[in-house]
Structure 1
Amino acid sequence: MITAIDHVQLAAPPGSEPRLRAYYTGVLGMTEIPKPSALAARGGCWFAAGAVRLHLGIERDFRPAGKAHPGLRVTGIEAYAARLAARGAALTWDDLLPGHRRFYCEDPVGNRLEFLEPL
């Protein structure tokens, strides 16, 4: 039986690791976690915040998905949005999900990210 999501994998182009590290740690406030040595040779990087795990894997013919995205639950969404905006992230607020406050932004390689907080 499925009990939880272990991680979400997003794709990224070759050579983008420095930009991803700067964004996911410096802008989003996540912590980089080491990849197992057997996987590190493939490139990419892994990040965590509490129980949330995001893996960024390298894809040669990378194209960001237009619709697919992780939905990341946050607390204090207004303050978190202000943090991201102050660090240069472009935010798009959306009020179409009843009972939630949410916004979208893109990471430096174009991956769509959703941040939401229940009301």
Structure 2
Amino acid sequence: MSARLHHVQVSCPPGGEDDARRLWVGALGLVEVEKPPALRARGGAWFRSYDEQGRVVAEVHVGAEADMVPARRAHPALLLDDEAALESAADRVAALGLEVDRSERGTFPGYLRLHVRDAAGNRVELLAPGPD
């Protein structure tokens, strides 16, 4: 048996979908995809990233949740192409007025990384290949 990650889910408060779009689409370049009809009434939004062949390589579901409290440490992580892409994404996130934390930049062998927080306080790790 083998398993592959299908998606990760983070939460936002009800009505926080536009803030989620600003990060996932505007700053990180994912594409919003329509939720299945049976799930639309719940609120939230779904986002995907595709490779050059059109295959889905990342999927994030943002679910609307009353009394939402973001996890302090739990997070999805996105692997970007290179350091330039990492820094460009960090600049776009910062331009939205969102937190960018570079304090753990060189702490993961083989990668450069940083953490951002979305408008709801969810932590998201961004990585790029780096020195071993």
Calculate the TM-score normalised by the size of structure 2. 0.82
State how far apart, in whole Å, the 2-side matches of 1:96 and 1:81 are. 17
Residues 15-54 of structure 1 aligned to structure 2 (within 5 Å): 15-50=15-50, 51-54=57-60
Residues 1:12 and 2:8 aligned together: no
Residues 1:73 and 2:73 aligned together: no
Q: How far did residue 87 of structure 1 move?
A: 4.1
Question: What does the per-residue CA deviation read over 1:44-76, in whole Å, with 9 as the maximum and x for residues that have no partner?
Answer: 000011210000011112100001000111112
Aligned match of 2:93: 84
Aligned match of 2:53: none
Taking only aligned residues, the RMSD between alpha carbons, in angstroms, comes to 1.5
State how far apart, in whole Å, the 2-side matches of 1:86 and 1:58 are. 24
Question: What does the per-residue CA deviation read over 1:11-67, in whole Å, with 9 as the maximum and x for residues that have no partner?
Answer: 111111121122221122211000000000110000011210000011112100001
For 2:117, which of 89, 101, 106 is the aligned residue?
Answer: 106
State how far apart, in whole Å, the 2-side matches of 1:96 and 1:47 are. 28
1:79 match: secondary structure: helix
1:116 match: secondary structure: strand
8 Å contact from structure 2 (residues 93, 116) kept in 1: no
Calculate the TM-score normalised by the size of structure 1. 0.90
What is the aligned-residue identity percentage?
Answer: 41
8 Å contact from structure 2 (residues 33, 48) kept in 1: yes
Residues 1:59 and 2:65 aligned together: yes
State how far apart, in whole Å, the 1-side matches of 2:96 and 2:65 are. 27
Give unmatched runs, 5+ long, in structure 2. Answer: 51-56
